[in-house]
Structure formats: C-alpha cells, structure tokens
Structure 1
C-alpha cells in the first residue's frame, strides 16, 4: 500500500518512531499531520516568493523548487518531533534533518541566483568567452591576432575519438552511446550555430563539430567491431592503449597550446616568417598558460589532477608494498593520512 511505502521512505531518512502515541495504526496519522503542517508552511513560502519575484516563468519555477525543498525539510523536522524519532535513532534522525535543510539552502540559494539574479542573456552573448577565455575569443573575433582556435580543435578531435573508442570497448548496446552522444553534439552544434548575439562566423565551428562527431562515430564503430570479434584479453589490451592515449592527449594539449620556443622558431623557419616579426602574433606562436581561460582551463586543471593523482597513486601503492622502510613507511603514512 502507498501508506507503507511512505512510512518506509520516512523511516529510512529519519528512523522509526519511538513515541508512545505514534504506534502501529497511529503512525501514519502523525505522518499525515507532519505533511499537513509542512504543506501549509510551503504554500506560504510559495505565495511569498511569487509576490516578491512576480509570476514570470523563472519565478514560478523557482517558487516550485523552493516549495518542494521546504516541504521536505519541514515535513521531516516536524514528523521527527511528533514521533520522537531522535530518541531511538538520534544519528539517523539528525543526519536526515540536516540533509533536508542543506537541500533547502542549496535550492533556495543557488536557485535564486540561477533563475532570478543571473543575467543569462549576457552569458549567452559571451558564450565563446566562457568556453575558451579572453585571448582565444579575441583571436576569433579580431583581425589583428591570428586565429588560434585550431589548437583547441586538434585537442577536441583527439578527445572525441578516444572517448568514443573507449566506450566501444564496453560491449554495451550501440544506442546507449549513440543517442546521448548525438544529443550532446547536437547541443554543442546549436550553441555554435545559434545566430543570437553572435560575433564570429558560425560556419567553421559548425562544420568542425560535425567532423568531430563523424570521427567519433567511426572510432566507436571500429572499436565496437574489434571487441565483438576478438577475445576479452584483446579488448583489455585495447582499453589499456586507450588509457595511455588519453594521458598522451593531455600532454599533447599542453604542448600544442604553448609549444617550446625551439618548436616555434622551427615553425617560423618552415613558413618563412621573418625574425623581425613577433612570433606570438603569428600562427607559429603559442598561447601562454597565463592567457588560457574559460571552461578549457578548468578541464585542463581537472585532467592534470587526474593524471598526476593516478601517477602518485601508483607510486604510493608500490611503495606501500615495498620491504624497504625508506619507501614503505612514508607511503603508508601518506595513504593513511589522506
């Protein structure tokens, strides 16, 4: 019955009742009382928000989200008090109530920022700036700087190919990858193509995104076919190669974004760029790490953490198994501390 399901969910969050008056058939009655009180309080919250913020679509969505979060927090709090749940399961009850109020604070705080305060029109108009940072945006939209976007596209193509090939080794049905990946690429293409507040030629990024999508389909198909016709150990070997390739792509991204001076000078010699010219103002010049920005730099930092963390983890694992105290004790101490 639905009553039993409600009680099961409630007890899994705040624990069972320890009140002498909330037993057996009376238990659900106190649950309904808690729901009623929380419903009234949540309705007042909803009305206050709509009166303060208006009745726009964003305001209504925000009010509904706060209504639900308020209902959950108040319901669990009131019900735990009515049923004296904290007497029997103090840790469970406290954890459930605190979690519910944290959800309320996150929904009300972040929801107000995202739906009420934030000017998403400004963010949308500067979507390139958000993704790649100021310098790359400037090189895309201004003629006095060389277009350095090819560096990002080379990394994107390799990343898409490796991710698609890696998913092909899982053995899952192809539609589980193709449908969400196609939707994801479609969203990216729409963002690049949408003419609203655009300050660049959209044809080039759209065609390159389509090319990256097609490349992903091809690598996924080849990987999936290879794993389907070969034994498991060969599929595992391919996975190890792809894992190594992902690490190499990270270092390639760092290299291609800001090549060493020797590589820049070699490029200048190949393309007959005069030594009097500033290499940084040509395609042979790199992009200084201090000038990286947007989501790209966040991805680089996150990937660096994963790569370095994996390497350090392997070293510590071997150090922990070592019989030499010089390696064993520091490794064990660091692992146990962290």
Structure 2
C-alpha cells in the first residue's frame, strides 16, 4: 500500500501531525484568570467585589501616604504645610524614630549596641533554624550569644557575663562526669557547681568593674520596640524547653511530679497574662527580702515565660498523645531508657506534629509583649501612648504612629509563620 493511500484510510495514519497552538483561552494570563479568578459565576462575583474593596482601600491610602509630610517639627506645622490637602503627618516618625525603637532614656551614643546585638542574633539563630545549611561549628557562637547580647545591651564589665558563662560550663562538665551514674544526681551536681562559680563570680566582678566595661544602662531606661523584641526573643527561647519539661512531667508516672506540673499548667492557663504582669510589677516585691533590687525586666520575663510555657506544654502534650503506641513500644524494644527514648524517638516526632501550635503560641506571645505598657513599661505601645502622644507637638497623631507599630510587628510575626511552613515542608516525610 502506497504512503499516499495509507494517509487517506481512517485510523491508519503513520505520520505525526504538526503541534497546534492551544486556544487563547487556555494559555497564558487568560488561562490563569479563568482558573483562579473567574472559574464560575459565583467566584467571578466574589472577585469583582474583592477588587472593588481593594480599589477603595488604595484610593484612600495612597494619596494619604504619597502626600505625607516628613520634615516638620510639630503637628501644627504639618497641618500648615498640608493646608487642607490629604496627607499623613509622618514627621513624627522622622523626629521620634529613636524613641520608638530604643525608648526615651537609652543613651543616644549607645544605639549601636542593641543594633549590633540584633544583627548578631541572625548569626546565632542560623544553626538552630537552618541546621541543614549552616556548619555545626557556628553552634559555639550560638551558645556564646546570650552573654554577648547581655553585655552589649545592658553594658557594664564583661566579667559579669563571663562568670555567668563559666558557671554554665562548670555545670555542663560536672553533669557529663556524673551522668553515667545517675541522671538526677548529675543534674543536681551541675546546679551546685554552677551556683558555686556564680557565687565566686560575684566577688570577682565587683573587684574588676572596669575591665572591658561599656556604659551601664539600667533596665528602666530601656524601651521602644527594642524592649518588645528582647522580651519576645528571650521568653520564646526559654518557654520551649520549659514547656517540653512540663509536658513530660504531666505524663509522668511519678504522682508528685505529675501533680505539680498539672497544677502549674492549669493555674497559669486559667489566669490572664495581665494579672501575672501586675504580680511581677507589684506583688512580687512583697515576697522578697527588704531592700532587694529585683530587676523589673527579669520579673516580667519570668512571668511571660511561665505563661507561654504552660500553653506550649499543652501543645506538646497533644503531639505526644498523637503518636501511635507502637512508637513507645519500639523504643522499649530497642532497650533505650526513658531519657534516650524521648530524645531520640518520641520527642522529635511529637515536636514535628506540634510545630503549628508552637508557632501559634510564639506569635501570640510576641504580640502580647505590648501588654507590659499597662504596668508603665515604655515599650513601643507605651512610648506611643505615653511620651509621644502626651507631648504638645504631636498630640493628635494616631494613624502614623500605630501604622509604624504595625510595620514593626507584622514582619516578625509573618516571618515566624513562613518559617514554620517551610520547616513543615522540610520535615514532610510521610508524603507518598
């Protein structure tokens, strides 16, 4: 049969037709619009309504933002410049940015110290957040960072954080020496060793107050977004390990430990955070010896950490309960003791399940640091409500200041949320 005849017979073509272009409605932007915005009449109506709302918001916001004034010294001057036109008075940000970021009393010449501590935080957190991409040797800097940051922000002699570091090192070495004999005994010996070093370090630091000393800054002089960031970072970092211990304690078979953990968790979860902050500010002083100077920021850190650790404990307990019983039995069959099975098998899986809940608590905790303004601490909200809006120059400026607060908090909270989603994708081992 000739080729010409074969091509005329139905279903016996032996040559390939040239590729045809898809219809205009099935490619490019048109296809995307049809698939995502106008798949049917109901979604088309929702898209149109959403576009109308976005248009109205932008039509009101853009002229106000683009027509804003940035160079005046007061609200009255700003209104004179605008002369009835639409525009925001952003001069309050250019004049008071240092108070919004660092508080009212932090020395102007020392702004580089908290700024440097903030930059170093990314290097310290990298091996913890991106362990698969960062060399493990950077963990040494991560261990040193809390002491470096304390010295940079609070100032004083470097001997104080150095002796604090030596206490932890001494406790670690004592723990490793005694761990093989008894875990609880090793923990107790480590605490005793650390306390001894810190006790000696108190005398050493008093004798060497001028060694590598930065200008001391009292806690009452700290404020602005810097205070919110310090509270959020420290409390989230401390509440996670404490929450893990509380979750394990609540599931313990030892009744006293279980009752203590259950009582702590239920009490803290049943009390508003603002109540705990008032306790930290006022009531806690009555339980201390007369003349004791207990730093207010430290008191607030303790209360916020207690509050968030109770919630994280419940999140992790849910992760532990979600694991199949076979995981616990598999750990027992391998001959692992309790600490080994939790560290190597149970807790990694429970933490993976608990990531969304932990992140939810962390984001809520970071936003709740603004509650310290109620106890007269000059955080970002406290600075806006207090010295700035109370001043005659800027009394009446609201949208600009609260918009600045949004621009400070939103990137941090959104970044935490995005990191958690990325981490979930990295740990997704159960996909087929």
TM range (shorter): 0.3 to 0.5
Larger Rg: 2
What is the TM-score normalised by the length of structure 2? 0.31
Q: From the two aligned structures, give the one with the greater helix fraction.
A: 1
What is the TM-score normalised by the length of structure 1? 0.38
